[in-house]
Amino acid sequence: MRIATWNVNSITARLPRLLAWLETTGTDVVCIQETKTTAEGFPADALRELGYESAVHATGRWNGVALISKVGLDDIVKGLPGDPGYEGAAEPRAIAATCGPVRLWSVYVPNGREVDHAHYAYKLQWFEALKAAVAGDAGGSRPFAVLGDFNVAPTDDDVWDPSLFVGATHVTPAERAALTALRETGLTDIVPRPLKYDRPYTYWDYRQLGFPKNKGMRIDLVYGNEPFAKAVSDSYVDREERKGKGASDHAPVVVDLDV
């Protein structure tokens, strides 16, 4: 079984690449973030032609998450129980479903913006809600994983130049502590193979030749419970999909399972 997570940075803009990628890779389930479309505008028909069902939690604007699957979508949950919301509204940042033998969450963690911004406090509160939502499945016997854009680099090794991020979001002790607390529910960081590069970055800014110079970050993560982690036969960042015209600024992270 092949599972991937991918922040597509607009499903509409990335649809031709996504469809071609699905046909090439034969991926069974994709956790998608930053759809930037409404649920009605999500390209479910085009994906159905390739054999994928879609579960979407999106309202347009800048957020939106989805799960697409060739192996079923059951027990769908949209949003986090206890979602703290931002400026009085819950944002579409999490969706869960059972896909064949595996239970999955696709998550798009708030960015945080700046450390003294209200969005940063919201980010930490959102992590608490995520931890509470996944704790039961994390300790269970069924393969389970939380995949997505976490907007946190777990360690300094996950940032191309840590000195440039001092005092900025994505690397603060509080954000990393939130990741640690999430793992302590019973999850393991499934670190992808870096292939020919020494670090498996997943995101590169469009500006200042970020990708050609490999000025990246590992913020797209796969956190799996013990049954999930034991089933992993391979994992990697598909850097090829970050290349060329019309690419997202994130690359897909792919995990193969023997289940």
By annotation, the residues acting in catalysis are 108, 149, 250
CA–CA dist 37, 76 (Å, integer): 19
Known binding residues for Mg(2+): 7, 34, 149, 151, 249-250
CB 218 within 8 A of CB 202: yes
Where does the chain have alpha helices with state H? 11-25, 44-48, 118-138, 173-183, 226-231
Of 28, 3, 8, nearest in space to 18 by CA: 8
Task: Please give the pLDDT value at position 191.
Answer: 94
Cα 157 to Cα 17: distance, rounded to the nearest angstrom: 30
Q: What is the pLDDT at residue 61?
A: 81
Q: What is the pLDDT of residue 6?
A: 98
Q: Please tell me the predicted confidence (pLDDT) of residue 149.
A: 98
> What confidence score (pLDDT) does residue 44 get?
98
Phi, psi of 15 (to 5 degrees): -55, -50
Cα 205 to Cα 191: distance, rounded to the nearest angstrom? 21
- pLDDT at position 240: 95
pLDDT of residue 197: 75
Q: What is the mean pLDDT of each run of 10 residues along the chain (259 residues)?
A: 98 98 98 98 98 97 95 98 94 98 98 97 98 97 98 97 95 98 98 82 94 96 98 96 96 97
Which residue numbers belong to the known binding site?
Answer: 7, 34, 149, 151, 249-250
- Grouping H, G, I as helix, E, B as strand and the rest as coil, residue 106 is strand
Fold of 2-257: Deoxyribonuclease I; Chain A (3.60.10)
Q: What is the pLDDT of residue 133?
A: 98
